[in-house]
């Protein structure tokens, strides 16, 4: 199941939830007598070992601010925006709008597989 999980993410650019679903499907198919909860626990263990577990949704206090975990989609959107626009919000004249989305997705996948957890403080509007 570990090979299915890591291959789905690394080679076929699947999301973590899609890779976990494939691993669960393989586990249930190979051992149909096992309860689903046992297969789920095995997939969770694999995710923890490769550092692909998403953080809990509990907010974290740090330096007087409440931080919350972000989803991989939020990180990818922020990275893609940073690649397309400068710090003043003006478009960069590269013409690679689609490529920034692809690169951001690959960066997020690598960060998740490396075990990074990204937290965000709430934004305040002036």
Provide the Cα torsion 70, 73, 76, 78; round to 10°: -60
Question: CA-CA distance, 70 to 52, in Å (whole number)?
Answer: 14
Q: Please say if the pLDDT value at position 44 is more than 60.
A: yes
Q: Which pLDDT belongs to residue 79? A: 84
Of 2, 7, 8, 1, the C-alpha closest to 34 is: 1
Could you tell me the two tokens for 93? 């004249």
Q: Please say if the pLDDT value at position 124 is more than 60.
A: no
Give just the sign of the alpha carbon dihedral 31, 7, 22, 40: positive
Q: Please say if the pLDDT value at position 84 is more than 70.
A: yes
39 with 21: CB under 8 angstroms? no
Q: Which pLDDT belongs to residue 126? A: 44
pLDDT tens track for 53-75: 655 567 778 778 888 878 888 88
């Amino acid at each position: 199941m570990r090979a299915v999980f890591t291959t789905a993410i690394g080679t076929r650019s699947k999301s973590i939830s899609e890779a976990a679903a494939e691993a669960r499907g393989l586990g249930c198919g190979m051992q149909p007598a096992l309860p689903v909860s046992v297969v789920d626990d095995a997939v969770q263990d694999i995710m923890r070992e490769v550092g692909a577990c998403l953080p809990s949704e509990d907010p974290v206090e740090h330096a007087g601010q409440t931080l919350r975990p972000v989803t991989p989609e939020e990180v990818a959107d922020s990275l893609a925006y940073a690649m397309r626009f400068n710090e003043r919000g003006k478009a960069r004249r590269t013409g690679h709008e689609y490529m920034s989305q692809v690169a951001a997705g690959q960066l997020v996948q690598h960060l998740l597989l490396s075990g990074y957890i990204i937290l965000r403080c709430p934004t305040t509007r002036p």
